[in-house]
Structure 1
Amino acid sequence: MYKNILVINLMQIGDLMLTTPVLGALRKAYPEARLTLLADSRWHDLVECNPHVDTCLFMDKKGADKGTLRLLAFAGRVRKLKFDLVINLHRNERSSAIAALSGAPRIVGYSKPPWSLLFDKVMKNPSLARRDGNRRIPGTQHQVHSHMAVLREALGIAQPEDVGLTLCLSEAAAQQAEELWQQEFTPADKVIAFNIGASWETKRWLTEYFAQAADMLAAKGYHIAFFGGPMDKDIVAKCCQQMEYKDSGLVHIFTGKVSLAVLAGLLRRCVLMLTTDSGPMHIGVAMNVPIVTMFGASPVPGFYPYDGRSVLVKTPEACHPCGIHQCQREGEGNLACMKNIPVAAVMNFVWELLDKYHGEPAYKLPPHYGDYQCRVIDLSKGEF
């Protein structure tokens, strides 16, 4: 029986959120163990209050812990904590090295050579796309399912309990979100969250499409709340300039103004989220918000919103999922994957979900444990 467990995921927001079901499963399997999560320090407020962990370690991989010597020093600090089990949940060199150098008697998960030589059990990650010549073949299952396979096959946990994505807020973040909401909205307002940015250009639906969707919702009296980080300010401003209702008082811009935890606190009060494939999408899932999302370059099986109430509209383009950050096609074919997801198709499912859940804010919707397969609308098959 393991007594001191470390789980490592040093990647982006979405990757970290998709690790949280593993924490819940480990807590159920090893209730007496001390469970530690190692994550990127930028995302501390997403996990520091997670009820399934005893403590978190944070690595400033872009700052104080950057570079080979500092990586080795950090691994040395991890080693002194004497973990008896280390689970690495991303196959990159940094996290593979920390796991391999941890000194733990048992080290399992994903790894890159040569660090994999020090692992007791190296697992493949079938959620990731792979190359076959010039073809990109999508993964075969969701990232969470791949992580759960690590628990089954490397640790012998026959049926890991999947409690879904988990995000709990500090009292201070919850209070800040409450105060900000009261400043912006009345109790009667129904608010749609818009997250229009994404780390890849090929993940972004067109700003004019988002503007059209926002106008259609505003015409029905819905308030629009724009979220995203500082890097999204320009595209949000461009989108708002294209809206007919930009001066209606129904448009609220939080882009670049709130922390991730406060973002989560605001999302739980929204009635729906219209979003790209992005970190905030997965935060929305954890906050119980029904989601409509559009996937162009992103592989559907691996990273769909882990929520049975949500809808994913998949591009009809044959080049899906290219996995390329910037489209290499020219002319009208540039970003065709997103251009050919029409507003009418997306709004069909927006109206459907608003009707189905009666415009109730996310925090009033009942939990739905175990129902994590979102509905995928494949436009290439004429499903709309």
Structure 2
Amino acid sequence: MNDKYWHVDLKNKTIVLIYMLYFGDMVSISPFLEVLRRAAEGSKIILVMDSRFQESVKYNPHIDEVIPFDRHGREKGMAATWKLGKKIGALHPDILLTLHGTARTTLMALAMHPKHWGGEEGTRIDSFLMDWPMTIETYNSHAVDKYLKVLERLGVKDLHHSGMRTFTSPLWDQKAEEFYASKGIGRDDRLVGISVGSSTAEKNWPAEKYGQTADYFADKGMIPVFFGVPSELALIRKATAVMKSKRYIIAAGELSMGEFMAAAGRCSLAFTNDSGPMYVFDSRGVPTIAMFGPSNAKFHHPLGPCSEAISSWDMPMGPEHVNKTIASGKYTPVSEISVEEVIHAGEKALRKAENLKMRRK
């Protein structure tokens, strides 16, 4: 692992970041963006990202420009990658940082020809071309911290931040309120957000257990709101089928990404798998209980003061990617987490949130 440190002047520069991962990943770099903005006074910060998730950072005040890239559609080929790199190169970038290196980021960097290039290598040739090559995926720290380490290696001393944050707009806030109003939800109603899906089936806590958990909090006077994408509706139906209470809302497929972020902030409590919505709830200040199985809670747990990760096993620190862990079969399934344990964590989170609220008055 390359632990070399540099002293880089980040001020009054054009800084390009390439980071083309997923929804939750875009939320996890929000502390990095906050610290970079503070350290890079007078600089223009440009983020190149997957076009599918651009709403996640559209109103982030720490970014000056977002350049979306359709890496799974019409722009996925090498020619389109080179073309975009040349286009960005016309902006005369002073600094390029690749936060997740791939062959695509190497090609784009070569076309861009920045004055200085650092970050994670995408191919073996990168280390010969980079000014500041570094290992980012260290598997020994939280996702937020590994990106802050990039700035530390570039000489940034002040790494304090406000935690993971997402930013909405008045229009998204209005659309979320209109959605709730259309379902008979008032401003005084207490909502419990639930996200039953994730990118990988093995990461999903059983839908029926989500239903039992939702029922418990519905009995306490809260209204469960099931968020998600249309493909998760079958899981949501499994969850609601075991519920005794019929007062719940299905929001899956009803909201855009930005509207979901706004609607999530209305919740008093949330239950999720290790997923993008977990990071969103946590970033909106919602006490979040997240269930982990094959993925490692040590690296991806929510950060909020009232949030908690519940893991089905004590996964060791190490280089195992979740897909390798799943393939090995050497883990305790997330289904082993009990409903009672999750409910207890939810009750504790609500008490902590109430205590924090009282102390702030």
Structure 1 length normalisation: TM-score?
A: 0.84
Distance 2:230 2:130 in 1: 39
1:107 aligns with 2:117: yes
Q: Is contact 1:288-1:365 (8 Å) kept?
A: no
What secondary structure sits across from 1:5 in the alignment?
Answer: strand
Change (3 A) 1:22 1:96: farther
Q: CA deviation at 1:158?
A: 2.0
Q: Is contact 1:7-1:38 (8 Å) kept?
A: yes
Q: CA deviation at 1:27?
A: 1.0
When structure 1 is superposed on structure 2, of 301-310 and 83-92 the one drifting more is 301-310
Distance 1:338 1:293 in 2: 11
1:41 aligns with 2:51: yes
Aligned to 1:286: 283
Q: Is contact 1:202-1:325 (8 Å) kept?
A: no
Aligned to 1:133: none
- Correspondences of 1:131-280 after superposition (within 5 Å): 139-153=139-153, 155-184=154-183, 185-245=185-245, 248=246, 250-280=247-277
Q: CA deviation at 1:22?
A: 1.4
Aligned to 2:84: 74
Aligned to 1:315: 312
- Picking from 101, 108, 111, the partner of 1:98 is 108
Q: Is contact 1:75-1:98 (8 Å) kept?
A: yes
Q: Is contact 1:201-1:325 (8 Å) kept?
A: no
Aligned to 1:83: 93
Q: CA deviation at 1:316?
A: 2.7
Show structure 2 runs of 5+ residues with no match: 1-8
Aligned to 1:353: 349
Show structure 1 runs of 5+ residues with no match: 128-138, 368-384
What secondary structure sits across from 1:282 in the alignment?
Answer: helix
Aligned to 1:372: none
Q: CA deviation at 1:291?
A: 0.4
Distance 2:359 2:47 in 1: 28
What secondary structure sits across from 2:193 in the alignment?
Answer: strand
Distance 2:114 2:44 in 1: 14
Q: CA deviation at 1:264?
A: 0.8
Provide Cα deviations, 1:137-179, integer angstroms capped at 9, x if missing partner.
xx210111111111111x2112333232232112221211122
- Picking from 107, 132, 136, the partner of 1:125 is 136
Aligned to 2:4: none
What secondary structure sits across from 1:101 in the alignment?
Answer: helix
Structure 2 length normalisation: TM-score?
A: 0.89
When structure 1 is superposed on structure 2, of 91-100 and 54-63 the one drifting more is 91-100
Q: CA deviation at 1:322?
A: 6.8
Provide Cα deviations, 1:173-210, integer angstroms capped at 9, x if missing partner.
12111221222212231100001100011110011111
When structure 1 is superposed on structure 2, of 211-220 and 301-310 the one drifting more is 301-310
Distance 1:326 1:306 in 2: 24
Distance 2:359 2:322 in 1: 35
Distance 1:327 1:353 in 2: 30
What secondary structure sits across from 1:274 in the alignment?
Answer: strand
Provide Cα deviations, 1:304-330, integer angstroms capped at 9, x if missing partner.
113232111111377997713895689
- Correspondences of 1:2-21 after superposition (within 5 Å): 2=10, 3-21=13-31
State the identity as a percent.
26
- Correspondences of 1:327-338 after superposition (within 5 Å): 327=326, 336-338=332-334
Change (3 A) 1:75 1:194: same
Q: Is contact 2:306-2:352 (8 Å) kept?
A: no
